[in-house]
Amino acid sequence: MAKSRPVYVCEACGAQRPKWQGQCDDCGAWNSLTEQAPVAAASRPVTAASPARLDSIDESADSRVTTGLTELDRVLGGGLVPGSVTLIGGDPGIGKSTLLLQAAAHLSASSQVLYVTGEESLRQVSLRGHRLGVSGASVEVLAATGVEQIAATAASMRPVLVIIDSIQTLVSDNLTAAAGTVSQVRESASQLVRLAKGSGIAVILVGHVTKEGSIAGPRVLEHMVDTVLYFESDIGSRLRLIRAVKNRFGAANEIGVFAMTAEGLREVSNPSAIFVSRHGEAVPGSVVMVAREGTRPLLVEVQALVDDAQSGHPRRLSVGLEQNRLALLLAVAHRHGGVSLAGQDVFVNVVGGVRVGETAADLPALLAAVSSLRDRPIARDTICFGEVGLAGEIRPVPFGEERLQEAIKQGFRRAIVPAANKPRRSPGDIEIIAVDRVAAALDHAG
Ligand code: TYD
Ligand code: MG
For 337-396, the pLDDT digits (tens) are 999 999 999 999 998 778 888 999 999 999 999 999 999 999 989 999 999 999 999 999
Average pLDDT over the chain reads: 88
CA of 397 to the centre of ligand 2 (A): 39
CA of 165 to the centre of ligand 2 (A): 7
Q: Which helix (H) or strand (E) holds 195?
A: helix 182-199
- First-to-last CA distance in the chain? 79
Q: Is there an atom of ligand 1 within 6 Å of 97 CB?
A: yes
Q: Which ligand ends up closest to the CA of 95? A: 1
* Contact yes or no for 33/24 (Cβ under 8 A): yes
Please determine, for residue 44, whether its predicted confidence score (pLDDT) is greater than 60. Answer: yes
Distance CA 162, CA 151 (A): 9
In the chain, what percentage of residues exceed pLDDT 90? 59
SS3 category, 342: coil
Q: Is there an atom of ligand 1 within 6 Å of 240 CB?
A: no
In the chain, where the domains are located: 1-37, 65-269, 273-445
Regarding the domain delimited by 273-445, which CATH topology (the fold level of the hierarchy) does it fall under? Answer: Ribosomal Protein S5; domain 2 (3.30.230)
CA–CA distances in Å: residue 198 to residues 154, 157, 172, 193: 12, 14, 19, 8
Taking CA 303 as the corner, what is the angle to CA 373 and CA 336, rounded to the nearest 5 degrees? 50
Q: Specify the DSSP class assigned to residue 93.
A: T
SS3 category, 322: coil
Paired with 206 in beta bridges are 88
Ligand 1 atom closest to the Cα of residue 92 is: 8
SS3 category, 162: strand
Q: Is the peptide bond before 166 cis (omega within 30 degrees of 0)?
A: yes
Alpha helices in 77-121 (DSSP H): 96-108
pLDDT tens digits along 99-155: 999 999 999 999 999 999 999 999 999 999 999 998 888 899 999 999 999 999 999
CA–CA distances in Å: residue 288 to residues 329, 403, 415: 18, 12, 10
Please determine, for residue 218, whether its predicted confidence score (pLDDT) is greater than 60. Answer: no
SS3 category, 365: helix
Minimum CA distance residue for ligand 1 atom 22 = 264
Least confident of 38-52, 198-212, 248-262: 38-52
Distance CA 142, CA 89 (A): 21
Ligand 1 atom closest to the Cα of residue 98 is: 2
Strands (E), 126-200: 140-143, 161-165
Least confident of 115-119, 208-212, 291-295: 208-212
Give residue 40's pLDDT. Answer: 57
Count the helix, strand and coil residues of the chain and give each as a percent rounded to the nearest 5: 30, 25, 45
CA of 93 to the centre of ligand 2 (A): 7
Regarding the domain delimited by 65-269, which CATH topology (the fold level of the hierarchy) does it fall under? Answer: Rossmann fold (3.40.50)
Q: Which ligand ends up closest to the CA of 98? A: 1
CB atoms within 10 A of CB 28: 11
CA of 92 to the centre of ligand 1 (A): 9
CA of 359 to the centre of ligand 1 (A): 34
CB atoms within 10 A of CB 240: 25
In the chain, what percentage of residues exceed pLDDT 70? 93
Please determine, for residue 236, whether its predicted confidence score (pLDDT) is greater than 80. Answer: no
Q: Is there an atom of ligand 1 within 6 Å of 233 CB?
A: no
Q: Is there an atom of ligand 1 within 6 Å of 349 CB?
A: no
Which residues lie below 8 Å from residue 287, measured CB to CB, with a gap of 6+? Answer: 301, 302, 303, 304, 364, 365, 367, 368, 371, 378, 382, 384
Distance CA 57, CA 81 (A): 16
Quick one: pLDDT band at residue 217, thresholds 50, 70, 90?
low
